[in-house]
Amino acid sequence: MDKQILQIAQDIKEMKIRGAAKIGRTVATALKIEAENFKGKDTNEFIKDIKETSRFLLETRPTAVSLENALRFVLLELNKGFTNGEDIDTLKKITINAADEFCENSNLALERIAEIGSKRIRDGDVIFTHCNSSMALAIIKKAHRDGKKIKVFADETRPRLQGLLTAKELLEEGIDVTLIVDSAARIFIREADHVIIGADAVAANGAVVNKVGTATLASIAHEARVKVIVAAETYKFHPQTYCGELIEIEERDIFEVISEEDYKKLKGLKVKNPAFDVTPPEFIDLIVTEKGIIAPQAAILVLKETYGLGLFEKELWED
């Protein structure tokens, strides 16, 4: 495996590269790098190498379905080429082109989601956001660039404090932003017109997996009758949930929550650090995709349109 892939995987694990959409584009690009640097001439060896690289990348962030879907997108094209008996140079080209296409689609999705989602924001609206989602922020920025006067509440998003990244990003755009601690959400939610958040995965029943804290925020928004908008490209929709599989929730290092020093002192203390939680569809008003706005209950239609009705007997990265 190319050395650059090891570095990419480490950067994703350590969250130097983060945000579900970016992770998807990064792993697609990793397969492109692997293909470009593959020195052999044997097509079987090439397929084996790309599958192995895919499996390795899959280990990095288990919840981000954009990662899996990016690999699926590239491997599906490669598989077709291999089945058609293409030679090694053509297979390499197919891999490179598919990776580029995935990244292009992802960037276009960002633009489309910004255009579509921003239409729901009116002049004078107050928006509440959680974590640091490129898709959610694209909507907010587009509304601001269109001249709408908006205010944003960004919560800190413990333990990694992605809310601070959001606050910085919006400030740079000249947007009025207030940073609050996560536990103050219920105080400020009543001032909001919308909660706008991203997604790491969308299940077949419309449940949304996003940064831990999202489910609590959505439930208090629901209670306060504030609309919850999820910005998610269609490659965030999880094909395996259609076949009954549950989305794995990543458990991160406990030392993101407590210092090693305190942990050692507090003998017997248990610490949990799930990175994501699941928001049920009842708490979500709409999902903005690059293909348009859908009710969460329509997630199944997106999956049917994108992946068809067939069950996955074997994943493309399996031997």
Residue with smallest beta-carbon separation from ligand RI2 = 198
Which residue number, 91 or 228, has a Cβ lying nearer to ligand RI2? 228
Minimum gap (Å) between residue 60 Cβ and ligand RI2: 11
Which residue number, 19 or 296, has a Cβ lying nearer to ligand RI2? 19
Checking DSSP bridges between strand 151-155 and strand 126-129, what pairing results, if any?
parallel
Q: Hey, is 73 helix, strand or coil?
A: helix
Residues near ligand RI2, by CB under 6 A = 18-21, 131, 133-135, 162, 197-198, 200, 210-211, 275
Known catalytic membership, residue 125: no
Q: How far apart are CA 142 and CA 147, in angstroms?
A: 9
Minimum gap (Å) between residue 267 Cβ and ligand RI2: 30
Which residue number, 95 or 162, has a Cβ lying nearer to ligand RI2? 162
Known catalytic membership, residue 200: yes
Q: How far apart are CA 286 and CA 121, in angstroms?
A: 13
Please name the residue ranges forming H helices in the chain. Answer: 3-13, 20-37, 43-58, 65-83, 88-118, 134-145, 162-172, 185-188, 214-223, 260-265, 299-307
Tell me if 20 is assigned to a ligand binding site.
yes
Minimum gap (Å) between residue 44 Cβ and ligand RI2: 35
Q: How far apart are CA 196 and CA 127, in angstroms?
A: 7
Checking DSSP bridges between strand 227-231 and strand 286-289, what pairing results, if any?
parallel
Tell me if 186 is assigned to a ligand binding site.
no
Q: How far apart are CA 205 and CA 197, in angstroms?
A: 18
Which residue number, 195 or 197, has a Cβ lying nearer to ligand RI2? 197
Active-site residue identified among 49, 125, 200, 285: 200
The conformation of residue 144, written as its DSSP 8-state character, comes to H
Minimum gap (Å) between residue 309 Cβ and ligand RI2: 27
Active-site residue identified among 49, 131, 155, 285: 131
- Catalytic residues, which ones? 131, 200
Residues tagged in the binding site annotation for substrate: 18-21, 61, 210-211, 236
Residues tagged in the binding site annotation: 18-21, 61, 210-211, 236
